[in-house]
Chains A and B, each alone.
Chain A
């Protein structure tokens, strides 16, 4: 086994545009679920809308890259309102059902051939980073940067820098909100919304605000993902939602840094497993083929998610008392 490559690839997983995109989406879920108690199982839909909003407005409407990104964010806000207005007055589980269905509808709308001219259908969209000028906005001259596993060309470095900047702003934003009296109301709603209503707070408005803020983070996650890769409908599937849930629960749902660190751990682990499992299969230790071994990691993710929820629902960084599923 080539341990050198395995370790190198694993360490590289610590910092990639994908990790940053997932950290952003997990941060959105932290706002939704960890702090406000809103069960959103449609975070993939928010990411898709962010990504497509960016790509479509550049390719179809000729927006500059930053204009496209703003459209992506506005799209996420509208999606949050669309989901929230009919469901937030209902019991929490309804939101879960509606979000999971809505995310699928969004994905299928982008996938259907009816709008191929705009959405690219199954092929997705590409070339928007060049067309919108995101690539040429790169301040780093061509070359190789960093060292060891963290060696990047200037394009990747630009996406990483941009993504980290966005992530930093979002982390600050969430932190600033959650330490404020607004955050106190949000946590109160998570605990018992009737009690909060009895104290004279407009619970519906607060829940909608929380849904929008988390939705913006999710949309930003989609945009950062799109700034690095192509936009493809095959990405925004329900399993992505569960990867993000795993990242969130891994780090701790009701924490600021938990989702970020959870995403890092998740993708580092993914990188490790996707490297070591095929090697183990090759070496005859695992009785499966190389491709089967690579998919085995998703099975492991599922098992990991279950174990986490059962044995450590508060995550690695959460306070045991602050968030448990069994109340």
Chain B
């Protein structure tokens, strides 16, 4: 893993001008007219959005912009009022969340969901797909699943090593720190052999020492041919690893483009400044300084 070198950015992802809703040369996810309201509040209202294949796309925007809600809609955890979206050409409207995951579109949660009273290893093994022993009838015959279970265990331990959690494998997940739980959730998601990995604020609450390795892991996913869509507030991380940035504000996509250019756009600065009052001041000041630096260049 080369955490400190500048990662190789994917380019030529879009067709035509980089504007909200622009076409991608090779889209993995195509979203059309997806709208979701909670009472009078329109949480998500995305006209058209394409997520490029085998690239790292960052979804940014102030708190309450609708990023998590969009994740919920795309993964079947919530149903939109209108709209359709397709994953690798297959329409996902009305497809239940577990089937979405089986198709290779896996997500993590903003509020980490470690299975606290299961061991770290069991957490991992749960991620593996097509397990024979997960059928209630075959479960009774260990001969039918022992071998597969052993293979899954090997794979889980390999991944745990990569995420530096292998020494914790026998511990209950409840005993992990917040950052380690984020790592575990990500590693567990990888056990499903996903095509598209959707990470909701993977860095939130992760201490700086772990941040570096998390960055490395996300970059590795791309190297292994996966597509990543992640929500992040840390602009350093976004600029460092994202190939493409989508900016949301008040439910809409207000800008998209490569990180170097999109963060200078007036719409982006407005989006953040507009949300200034209700966001954590520390985070906001951090963001403004980054955006200011970009402007100064």
Contacts and interface: CB of A to CB of B under 8 A. Distances in A.
Interface stretch (B42-50, B130-138, B230-238): B130-138
Nearest to A189: B115
Nearest to A195: B113
Given A180-B133, A181-B149, A201 B117 contact: no
Contacts of A66: none
A201 B98 contact: yes
Given A181-B125, A181-B145, A200 B98 contact: yes
A177 B138 CA distance: 10
Interface stretch (B19-27, B99-107, B158-166, B276-284): B99-107
Interface string A192-214: 10111111111100000100010
B101 to A, nearest CB: 4
Nearest to A213: B136
Interface in A11-62: none
B63 to A, nearest CB: 21
A321 B174 contact: yes
B101 A199 contact: yes
Given A192-B113, A195-B109, A181 B101 contact: no
Contact of A177 (B107, B114, B140, B149): B140
A194 B139 contact: no
Interface in B38-59: none
B139 A199 contact: no
Interface in A311-327: 321-323, 327
Nearest to A212: B136
Contacts of B113: 192, 194-195, 198
A180 B75 CA distance: 28
B134 A201 contact: yes
A187 interface: yes
A199 B145 contact: no
A185 B188 contact: no
A140 interface: no
A326 B51 CA distance: 41
Interface in B138-155: 139-140, 142, 145, 149
Contacts of B115: 187-188, 191-192, 195-196
A182 B145 CA distance: 10
Interface in B91-133: 96-99, 101-102, 106-109, 113-118, 122-123, 125-127, 129, 131-133
A81 to B, nearest CB: 15
A198 B145 contact: no
B109 A181 contact: no
B116 A196 contact: no
A191 B116 contact: yes
Nearest to A180: B139
A176 interface: yes
Q: Tell me the dominant secondary structure on chain A's binding face.
A: helix
A191 B118 contact: yes
B127 A199 contact: yes
Contacts of A321: 117, 172, 174
Nearest to B132: A181
A113 B99 CA distance: 49
B118 A184 contact: yes
Interface in B176-219: 185, 188-189, 191-192
Contact of A182 (B77, B107, B135, B185): B135
A197 B98 contact: yes
Interface in A286-304: none
A183 interface: yes
Contact of B139 (A181, A191, A200, A203): A181
A198 B133 contact: no
A198 B101 contact: yes
B70 to A, nearest CB: 16
A194 B136 CA distance: 20
Contacts of A177: 136, 139-140
Q: Which of B109, B113, B174 has the most chain A CB within a 10 Å cutoff? A: B113
Contacts of B127: 199
A199 B133 contact: no
A197 B185 CA distance: 13
A209 B136 contact: yes
Interface in A75-112: none
A194 B98 CA distance: 9
A198 B131 contact: no
B85 to A, nearest CB: 17
Given A180-B133, A198-B107, A191 B98 contact: no
B125 A184 contact: yes
Contact of A323 (B106, B117, B129): B117
B118 to A, nearest CB: 6
Contact of A185 (B107, B126, B172): B126
Contacts of A173: 140
Contact of B140 (A176, A199, A201): A176
B142 A180 contact: yes
20 contacts: A176-B142, A180-B140, A181-B132, A182-B133, A182-B139, A183-B139, A184-B126, A187-B122, A188-B115, A192-B113, A194-B77, A194-B113, A196-B115, A199-B188, A199-B189, A199-B191, A200-B106, A201-B98, A203-B98, A323-B117
Given A191-B117, A200-B98, A213-B136, 10 more contacts: A177-B136, A181-B131, A182-B135, A182-B136, A190-B117, A197-B77, A198-B108, A199-B127, A200-B192, A321-B174
The 3 closest A-B pairs by CB, nearest first: A181-B133, A200-B101, A180-B139
